[in-house]
């Protein structure tokens, strides 16, 4: 059987598409195999921090990001009474060489998909191929796929295989068959997007409240979506809930499932109940991750993104770490060729780096600021925030996360390109 391509990418999400673009950039042949029959712009909002935007910029995608996303201006922290705890500027206003973006995940995925098809060709993404298994020999890998009806498709041959197939990765399951379900955090998330007039700076990422009373994240992800100049606003509501009997990342919900804790959150700058009520579609899913594993790489097969290191969405960093995975892997291939040694080099660096982020997202993500204030005030109003927590302590919390996640201003500017 002749090789279909040099690197076979299983999964057409953000990580898989960025890897395809990165490999094309260094002249490595690749093809993406995706299980669905059509890639649709699903999901809700995500944030792309400057370390991820740097990588997309180095692939020439900054103008495309500006066309569909919003450059984040600042990040603000409030209690459940709408009192400002802390605000810091973001992106280039903070001194980064690259902006930060708030963007609809579906817009980003379609942007990447269009770029892959334009640069690599229409046949570079193969749909309707559900991964079943992979076998290895001294000359490469052979993957088995099935169609939507369960019929086996012709086997695909490549030099290497990269599993980018998400938190329920079938590639990962082949090498960790007894791993079981992801680890539930005790928190459930509801999400939605809706039209809303700009508030505060018009580019603010808001975190408010804390888990016992409800935590809310709100930020705009598209500009001027109608004649009234409204933005498309993304919101994320998080509440403590018992472990669900089943995990569903495409679950549909009703407003009454989560509304009551937020029913009186009427701030000077945002009417939260009105925002939630006018949302047309509610999504729900458990906040989960997986315990870090010692390796993602098994001979000629490795993992990337959520297949490798699913993490709590509390640091605006999941998509960013997938992008960094892809770019670092491409750099290893550039230096060492598409070899098992290159995969080991990728594994050695990225397993350690992302394991730290996974654990940091559990213990001390940026919203730790909200926890500290809630605990010290008992959830009550404060007179002066300086009596509760100092600016220095808050900045130390945020800076420690930036250090672990890899986007400190000076260090990011001085770091050599990954590819």
Domain 5-71+97-180+291-363 has CATH 3.50.50.60: yes
Supply the pLDDT for residue 314: 86
CA–CA gap between residue 39 and residue 36 (Å, rounded): 7
Residue by residue, pLDDT tens for the chain (419 residues) are 678 999 999 999 999 999 999 999 999 999 999 999 999 998 899 999 999 999 999 999 999 999 999 999 999 999 999 999 999 999 999 999 999 999 999 999 999 999 999 999 999 999 999 999 999 999 999 999 999 999 999 999 999 999 999 999 999 999 999 998 899 999 999 999 999 999 999 999 999 999 999 999 999 999 999 999 999 999 999 999 999 887 777 789 999 999 999 999 999 999 999 999 999 999 999 999 999 999 999 999 999 999 999 999 888 889 999 999 999 999 999 999 999 999 999 999 999 999 999 999 999 898 999 999 999 999 999 999 999 999 999 999 999 999 999 999 999 999 999 99
Contact (CB, 8 A) for 219 and 276: no
DSSP state string for 249-274? TTEEE-GGGT-GGGTT-B-SS-BHHH
Q: Per the confidence metrics, is the pTM higher than 0.85? A: yes
CA–CA gap between residue 359 and residue 404 (Å, rounded): 10
Based on C-alpha coordinates, what's the Rg of the chain?
Answer: 21
Supply the pLDDT for residue 124: 97
Q: For residue 190, what is the DSSP state?
A: E
Count CB neighbours of 122 within 10 A. 8
Measured between alpha carbons, how far is residue 356 from residues 69, 123, 179, 229, 398 in Å? 29, 37, 20, 41, 15
CA–CA gap between residue 179 and residue 361 (Å, rounded): 21
Count CB neighbours of 88 within 10 A. 15
In sequence order, which ranges of 238-387 are alpha helices (DSSP H)? 272-277, 318-336, 340-363, 368-377
DSSP state string for 32-96? EE-SSSS----S-EEEE-HHHHHHHHTTT-HHHHHHHSEE--EEEEE-TT--EEEEEE-GGGGT-
Supply the pLDDT for residue 315: 82
| 366 HSE (CA, 13 A, CB side) | 26
Supply the pLDDT for residue 253: 94
């Amino acid at each position: 059987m002749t090789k279909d391509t040099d690197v076979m990418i299983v999964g057409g999400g953000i990580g898989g598409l960025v890897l395809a673009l990165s490999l094309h950039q260094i002249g490595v042949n690749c093809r993406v195999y995706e299980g669905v029959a059509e890639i649709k712009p699903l999901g809700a909002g995500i944030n792309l921090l400057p370390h991820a935007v740097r990588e997309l910029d180095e692939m020439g995608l900054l103008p495309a990001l500006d066309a569909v996303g919003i450059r984040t201006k600042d990040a603000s922290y409030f209690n459940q009474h709408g009192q400002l705890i802390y605000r810091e500027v973001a992106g280039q206003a903070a001194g980064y060489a690259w902006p930060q973006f708030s963007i609809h995940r579906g817009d980003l995925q379609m942007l990447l998909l269009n770029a892959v098809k334009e640069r690599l060709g229409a046949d570079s993404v193969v749909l309707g191929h559900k991964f079943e298994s992979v076998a290895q020999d001294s000359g490469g890998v052979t993957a088995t796929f099935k169609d939507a009806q369960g019929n086996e498709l012709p086997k695909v041959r490549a030099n290497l295989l990269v599993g980018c197939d998400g938190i329920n990765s079938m590639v990962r399951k082949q090498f960790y068959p007894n791993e079981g379900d992801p680890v539930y955090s005790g928190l459930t998330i509801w999400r939605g997007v809706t039209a809303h007039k700009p508030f505060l700076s018009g580019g603010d990422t808001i975190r408010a409240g804390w888990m016992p009373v409800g935590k809310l994240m709100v930020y705009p992800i598209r500009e001027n979506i109608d004649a009234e100049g409204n933005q498309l606003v993304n919101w994320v509501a998080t509440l403590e809930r018992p472990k669900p009997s089943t995990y569903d990342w495409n679950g549909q919900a009703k407003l009454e499932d989560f509304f009551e804790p937020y029913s009186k959150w009427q701030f000077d700058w945002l009417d939260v109940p009105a925002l939630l009520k006018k949302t047309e579609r509610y999504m729900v899913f458990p906040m989960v991750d997986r315990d870090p594993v010692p390796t993602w790489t098994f001979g000629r097969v490795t993992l990337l993104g959520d297949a490798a290191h699913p993490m709590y969405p509390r640091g605006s960093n999941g998509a960013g770490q997938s992008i960094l995975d892809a770019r670092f892997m491409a750099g290893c291939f550039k230096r060492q060729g598409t070899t098992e040694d290159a995969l080991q080099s990728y594994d050695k660096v990225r397993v350690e780096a992302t394991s730290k982020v996974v654990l940091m997202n559990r213990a001390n993500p940026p919203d730790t600021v909200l926890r500290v204030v809630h605990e010290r005030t008992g959830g009550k109003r404060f007179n002066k925030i300086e009596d509760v927590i100092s600016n220095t302590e808050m900045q130390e919390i945020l800076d420690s996360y930036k250090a672990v996640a890899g986007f400190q201003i000076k260090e990011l500017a001085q770091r050599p390109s990954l590819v």
